A and B are shown apart, each in its own frame.
Chain A
Amino acid sequence: MSTELTIGFLPLVDACLPILAHEHGFAEEAGVSLRLVKDMSWATVLDRLLYGHSDAAHLVAPLAIAATLGRGRPAQPLSVPFVLGLNGNAITLRPELARQVRPEGGMGTPAEVGAALKTIAQERSKAGRPLTFGVVHRYSSHNYMLRYWLAACGIRPDHDVDISTVPPPFCADALKQGEVDGICVGEPWNSVAVEQGAGEIVLSTAQIWRRGVEKVLALRESVLEEKREGVERLIRALCKAGGHFVDPANWERNAEILARPEYLDGSAELIRRAISDQLLIAQEGPLVHYPDFMFQHREAANFPWVSQAEWLYTQMVRWDGTPFDAEECRKAARVFRPDVYRSALLGTGAPLPGASSKVEGSLASTTVVGTQQGSMTLEKNIFFDGMVFDPNDIEGYISRLP
């Protein structure tokens, strides 16, 4: 008998795996039937999850940890048995600002763009009109990636520049109205801003951290225990959907499905570009191909590395201004559940890493890693500033951050 699961999502390209698992029948095939519920804000996606309207949610990774730790609302333990994808976000600035910080004809490097932006940020701050950036949520990977980049370039968030929340569907509008000077958001919303002439893309977050954890599949811990068998079926279906999503033969068709009114309700053309790692960075500008802009499948991209959760925790204490707390860190780490991922995919063709944690940002070239099942190589996974996160020395890492 097929298990029924309700999954909440926001209209973003990286909601693709649950949508395609449903549309292409991977879910039914695995013995789980999905009901997808679209919302417009992460607060609502989270509410539905916490109060039982949905069994699982497409969620920004840091928010799963924040909910577990009780930041901003009463604590409720969440679990993440599957990562829905890495990166896929970009930084888009107002056109005149973008042209001042980005080299002609391309995206530039994070260090280059950051150095140029620093001068402008300081001028604006001195003039009493600091640059303002919009991110999609306080506890989002977008917020942490943007802040990581700015801080590493000597631009202090909350001092030199302001950062506020703008819901993804309003990002283009906020740029156009001058409410913000830049946004860090997922696709298709950067491309929507470009199309409207409201902004130009200067960086993709994959340039900041080559393998940055982005959206996750989150459930209440109690629901995961209750519906464990159904969740494992879902994981197998999502994994198959990932293989389908990255195959160029399916891009056209998948873009059309995602563009439908009940899903993203947007342009299939813009969605297809994101799926194929292409970005039109400016009106009339070049179509830039940035490999692994979105990263949904290869290298066990969906494996919930405990070290990813721990890295997110370091950024949470960094930007919330709270002290490192070993007990909290343990709770944050426990949100990511590689044990469930392994148990779901054992015996399938999917590669399973031998370890559950890794040193993040340490690989400068392709490396073969030990596995429990299948074979696996990991490619370059560096942070643009060369810092390395070793989960065995979390406090040391925090103290070295600028």
Chain B
Amino acid sequence: MRIAIIDDSAARASILQEGMAALDDCELFIITERRGLLARIGEINPDIVLMNLGNPSRDVLEEYFAVSRALQRPIAMFVDESDDESIVASVEAGVSSYVVDGLAAGRIRPILDLAVTRFNAFSRLQQDLAEAKGKLAERETIDKAKRILMDSRGLPEPKAYAELRKAAMNQGKRIVDIAEAIVTAHNLMGNV
């Protein structure tokens, strides 16, 4: 079976590729470039096309499938009309799939399921990354607030941090919230 993966994120495409390489008798083709997309699809002549839901070229591809005479068999969106559950799962995960009409559902479903799993894994990875970035920004804010306390009240660093923590505990807030308030107030007072 020939599977084309179209994804504008090269990182996600490689995660998909890695996950699907284990499938038996499947040949994988990755396309990340918008230009020349239809020509590439024509060459590959895939049985299944997986594409990220947010890809702006989806309309281009759908039209190609609708009017192209290059493909002998029409390509249909998803598995079949009755298979709503897997469709919803794949839309949730952010993957759209186009399947050559007439392929047995039993052959398609494991591929789709795998793609959905890999897409979800990628989203989790991105979430972790965003969280890590958020943590980094929080640390910077806390450092800034510490410096303000050190400069304005002549406190040594450990004492400045202890003050932040005490205020957070007294007010039932997170340290970063207190730090943010200090930085904002400082900026508003014009003592930048």
Q: Which of B72-97 contact A (CB under 8 A)?
A: 76-77, 81, 87-88, 91-92, 96
Q: Which of A74-92 contact B (CB under 8 A)?
A: 74
Whether A43 and B91, one on each chain, are in contact in the complex, defined by CB atoms closer than 8 angstroms, is no
Q: Which of B35, B54, B76, B88 contacts A44 (CB 8 A)?
A: B54
Within the complex, what minimum Cβ distance (angstroms) separates A7 from chain B?
Answer: 17
- Interface pick from A46-54, A116-124, A339-347: A46-54
Whether A137 and B59, one on each chain, are in contact in the complex, defined by CB atoms closer than 8 angstroms, is yes
Interface residues on A, range: 20 to 34
Q: Which residues of A contact B54 (CB under 8 A)?
A: 39-41, 44
Chain A at the B interface: mostly helix, strand, loop or mixed?
loop
Given A51-B91, A52-B88, does the pair A169, B56 have CB atoms closer than 8 Å?
A: yes
- A72 interface contact, C-beta 8 A: yes
Q: Mark A115-153, 1 if CB is under 8 A from B, else 0.
A: 000000000000000000000111000000000000000
| Chain A residue at smallest Cβ distance from B81 | A74
Number of A-B contacts (CB under 8 A): 62
Q: Mark A48-75, 1 if CB is under 8 A from B, else 0.
A: 1001110000000000000000001110
Q: Which of A53, A72, A179 contacts B66 (CB 8 A)?
A: A72
| Chain B residue at smallest Cβ distance from A179 | B35
Q: Which residues of A contact B60 (CB under 8 A)?
A: 164-167
| Chain A residue at smallest Cβ distance from B64 | A165
Q: Which residues of B contact A47 (CB under 8 A)?
A: 53, 91, 96
A273 to B40, CA, bound (A): 39
A73 to B53, CA, bound (A): 16
- B57 interface contact, C-beta 8 A: yes
Given A73-B77, A74-B81, A170-B34, does the pair A41, B91 have CB atoms closer than 8 Å?
A: no
| Chain B residue at smallest Cβ distance from A168 | B56
- B43 interface contact, C-beta 8 A: no
26 contacts across the A-B interface (CB closer than 8 A): A40-B54, A40-B56, A41-B54, A41-B55, A41-B56, A41-B59, A42-B59, A43-B59, A43-B96, A44-B54, A44-B55, A44-B96, A48-B91, A51-B91, A53-B91, A72-B66, A74-B77, A74-B81, A136-B59, A138-B59, A138-B62, A164-B60, A164-B63, A166-B60, A167-B59, A177-B35
